[in-house]
Amino acid sequence: MASSSEKVKVLGFWVSPFVRRVEWALKLKGVDYEYIEEDIFNKSSLLLKLNPVRQKVPVLVHDLKVVAESYVILEYIDEIWKQNSLLPLDPYQRAMARFWAKFAEEKVFETAWNALCSGGEEKEKALKIAIESLEILEGEAKKIQNFFGGDRIGYLDIAMGWIGYWLPVWEQVGCMSILDPLKFPATSAWAKRFISHPLIKHNLPPREEMLVYFDKRSKELSSISQGWIKV
Amino acid sequence: MADEVVLLDLWSSMFGMRVRVALAEKGVEYEYKEQDLRNKGPLLLEMNPIHKKIPVLIHNGKPICESLIIVQYIDEVWHHKAPLLPSDPYQRAQARFWADYVDKKVYPPGRKIWATKGDEQEEAKKEFIEILKVLEGELGEKPYFGGESFGFVDISFVTFSCWFHVYETFGNFSIEKECPKLMAWVKRCQERESVSKSLPDEKKLLEFVYYLMKIFGIE
d(CA B64, CA B48): 8
For residue A166, what pLDDT is reported? 98
For residue A107, what pLDDT is reported? 97
Q: Which residues of chain B have a CB within 8 Å of the CB of A103?
A: 50
Residues A99-118 have pLDDT tens digits of 999 999 999 999 999 999 99
pLDDT surpasses 90 at B94: yes
What one-character-per-residue DSSP string does A112-163 give? Answer: HHHHHT--HHHHHHHHHHHHHHHHHHHHHHTT-SSBTTBSS--HHHHHHGGG
3-state secondary structure of A66: strand
- Any B CB within 8 A of A65 CB: yes
Q: Which residues contact A97 (CB under 8 A, 6 or more apart)?
A: A87, A88, A148, A154, A155, A156
Q: Which A residues, 161 through 180, put their C-beta within 8 Å of a C-beta on chain B?
A: none
Torsion of CA B195, B95, B33, A97, to 10 degrees: 170
Mutate to test the interface with A, among B5, B50, B53 (most CBs of A within 10 A): B50
Pair A170, A214: CB distance under 8 Å: yes
For residue A228, what pLDDT is reported? 86
Q: Distance (Å) from the C-alpha of residue B17 to the closest C-alpha of chain A?
A: 19
For residue A6, what pLDDT is reported? 59
pLDDT bin (cut points 50, 70, 90) of residue A212 is very high
Instruction: Please report the ipTM that was assigned to this predicted complex.
Output: 0.96
Residues A63-97 have pLDDT tens digits of 999 999 999 999 999 999 999 999 999 999 999 99
How much of chain A exceeds pLDDT 90, in percent? 93
pLDDT bin (cut points 50, 70, 90) of residue B217 is confident
d(CA A134, CA A194): 17
For residue A5, what pLDDT is reported? 54
Mean pLDDT of all residues belonging to chain A: 95
Mean pLDDT throughout A117-145? Answer: 97
Within 10 A of A219 (CB to CB), how many other CB atoms are there?
A: 11
3-state secondary structure of A38: coil
Residue type at position A134: L
How much of chain A exceeds pLDDT 70, in percent? 97
Residues B144-183 have pLDDT tens digits of 999 999 999 999 999 999 999 999 999 999 999 999 999 9
How much of chain B exceeds pLDDT 70, in percent? 99
Strands B56-59 and B62-65: antiparallel
For residue B2, what pLDDT is reported? 80
Q: Distance (Å) from the C-alpha of residue B123 to the closest C-alpha of chain A?
A: 15
pLDDT surpasses 70 at B41: yes
Mean pLDDT throughout B192-196? Answer: 98
Does the beta-carbon distance from B69 to A65 stay under 8 Å? no
Residues A5-19 have pLDDT tens digits of 559 999 999 999 999
Q: Distance (Å) from the C-alpha of residue A95 to the closest C-alpha of chain B?
A: 6
For residue B216, what pLDDT is reported? 82
Mean pLDDT of all residues belonging to chain B: 96
Q: Which residues of chain B have a CB within 8 Å of the CB of A55?
A: none
Pair A99, A114: CB distance under 8 Å: no
